Amino acid sequence: MSSGPDRPDGTTGRGPLAGILVADFSRILAGPYSTMLLADLGAEVVKVEGPGGDDTRTWQPPVREGVSTYYLGVNRNKRSVALDLKDPADADLARELARRADVFVENFKPGGLGRFGLDYDSVAAINPGVVYASISGFGSGPGGAALPGYDLIVQAISGFMSLTGDTDGEPYRAGVALFDVMAGLHATIGVLAALNHRHETGLGQHVEVNLLSSALSGLVNQTSAYVAGGVVPFRMGNSHPSLFPYEPLPCADGELIITAGNDGQFRRLCEVLGVPELAVDARFLRNEDRTANREELRPLLVERLRTRSKMDWFRDIIGAGVPCGPINTIDQGVAFAEEIGLDPVVSVGQGAAAVPSVRNPITFSATEAEYRLPPPTLDEHGAEIRRWLAEPVGRREEHSA
């Protein structure tokens, strides 16, 4: 690591990525989600924002004390500095941060940071060990670099929306920016793999992730149906193309998701429902039989399910070892996680400044995730970081992850 002060506050985290400095030049969702995960695991993240701040600061409602909850959701454990890259002095500070960083994350339009000397080649020239992660909508090649990279556009172009919605209805988007989140996860995996490579070789590299590739990978069995089987999937509402039952089924007071993923689970489901004869019916004996004959099987299951409430069935069906669950609202989902001991909400910060936040989903036996800092206000740590970047520090000659 470099000599002299290599952290804005002179401290390091305690998690598995303690000692890693991340220069975060990303905004909106995919990049900030990735850097928040790295920060949760102990990395020191400096969030570089333009004078107007991250776009999601203005994406409201909803808000908490006037601050966008969208922004709050992906920016904890970071320090914010506002730098105008068009200002030569601020651009110098940005390049100094890049020189000191272990990891550099950006989601500018491909090539957009080149005019500031912050593209991969320029940063690697002054920091050969840097792991430089670029997130784009459609890649940096000539065909995709100029295309705008918003999640909803990728949901449409990837084919995802053609799979979502009622069979005879219109295509629908997901209720969350699914591929932004997925690209953020892929970027995090790429960064960690590149850090391990650097640990072995001392050399960094350029990690590139794009939303469309993340989408096509994340569509798993649906894209495989086409590329491996020549089958173009289509909308099936809440039904599954390869399994039944694997969908919501109506009970006396609402619907219950039931997912009998194998023949043994289906037999147990039939026993709980009081129709064991269905499990030995030749029409429903194997999964492929049930899938082919779902229109005959569904009303037979629904006839039994409608005799009791969804929560009564939930308790009995789960008790028999068959996966199922009620369709909850978000508040009910959080409450359920609390009920089963997952502690999904953490408080980040102290006293009145503390912000409720969703817990990092990863647990470790030795190095837990940390919640050190609430999401920063714009340029909250600007003076501190500017002073730090002005202090002399030796060039990195050795890198360790």
For residues 328 and 366, membership in a common domain is answered with no
Q: Of the given ranges (50-64, 200-214, 235-249, 383-397), which has the lowest mean pLDDT? A: 383-397
β-pairing verdict for 355-358 and 345-348: antiparallel
Confidence class of residue 3 from pLDDT cuts 50, 70 and 90?
very low
Confidence class of residue 70 from pLDDT cuts 50, 70 and 90?
very high
Question: Does the structure show a pLDDT above 50 at 396?
Answer: no
Question: Does the structure show a pLDDT above 50 at 373?
Answer: yes
350 or 74, higher pLDDT = 74
90, 151, 180, 379: which is the annotated catalytic residue?
A: 180
**CATH (domain of 149):** 3.40.50.10540
pLDDT at 8: 65
Name the nearest CA neighbour of 316 among 361, 278, 268.
Answer: 268
Rounded to the nearest 5 degrees, what angle is found at the Cα of 124, between the Cα atoms of 399 and 185? 75
For residues 210 and 294, membership in a common domain is answered with no
91 within domain boundaries:
yes
Rounded to the nearest 5 degrees, what angle is found at the Cα of 35, between the Cα atoms of 384 and 52? 60
Q: Could you read off the pLDDT of 161-216 as tens digits, one per residue?
A: 999 999 999 999 999 999 999 999 999 999 999 999 999 999 999 999 999 999 99
Question: Does the structure show a pLDDT above 70 at 293?
Answer: yes
For residues 109 and 185, membership in a common domain is answered with yes
For residues 209 and 317, membership in a common domain is answered with no
Burial of 301 (0-12, 13-18, 19+ CB in 10 A): buried
Name the nearest CA neighbour of 162 among 217, 223, 213, 211.
Answer: 223
280 within domain boundaries:
yes
Name the nearest CA neighbour of 244 among 271, 221, 219, 269.
Answer: 269
Name the nearest CA neighbour of 44 among 387, 344, 385, 377.
Answer: 385
Could you give the CA distance from residue 251 to residue 248 in angstroms, rounded to a whole number?
9
For residues 279 and 365, membership in a common domain is answered with no
Beta bridge partners of 355: 348
Structurally, how many domains does the chain consist of?
2
For residues 269 and 382, membership in a common domain is answered with no
Confidence class of residue 4 from pLDDT cuts 50, 70 and 90?
very low
Which residue range forms the structural domain that includes residue 183? 21-219+344-390
Indicate the average pLDDT of the chain: 94
Rounded to the nearest 5 degrees, what angle is found at the Cα of 316, between the Cα atoms of 310 and 321? 120
351 within domain boundaries:
yes
157 within domain boundaries:
yes
% the chain with pLDDT above 70: 95
For residues 88 and 128, membership in a common domain is answered with yes
177 within domain boundaries:
yes
Burial of 127 (0-12, 13-18, 19+ CB in 10 A): buried
For residues 139 and 284, membership in a common domain is answered with no
For residues 282 and 135, membership in a common domain is answered with no
For residues 43 and 192, membership in a common domain is answered with yes
54 within domain boundaries:
yes
Confidence class of residue 305 from pLDDT cuts 50, 70 and 90?
very high
Question: Beta strands of 139-234 (E only): which ranges?
Answer: 205-210
pLDDT at 89: 97
**Cα separations in angstroms, 227 against 162, 215, 231, 233, 343:** 16, 14, 8, 11, 41
**CATH (domain of 299):** 3.30.1540.10
180 annotated active-site: yes
Confidence class of residue 13 from pLDDT cuts 50, 70 and 90?
low
Burial of 393 (0-12, 13-18, 19+ CB in 10 A): middle
Q: Could you read off the pLDDT of 27-61 as tens digits, one per residue?
A: 999 999 999 999 999 999 999 999 999 999 999 99
Q: Could you read off the pLDDT of 101-118 as tens digits, one per residue?
A: 999 999 999 999 999 999
pLDDT at 229: 97
2 within domain boundaries:
no
pTM: 0.91
pLDDT at 5: 45
CA dihedral 67, 95, 128, 137 (to 10 degrees): 50
- Which residues, 6 or more positions from 70, have their beta carbon under 8 angstroms from its beta carbon? 56, 59, 60
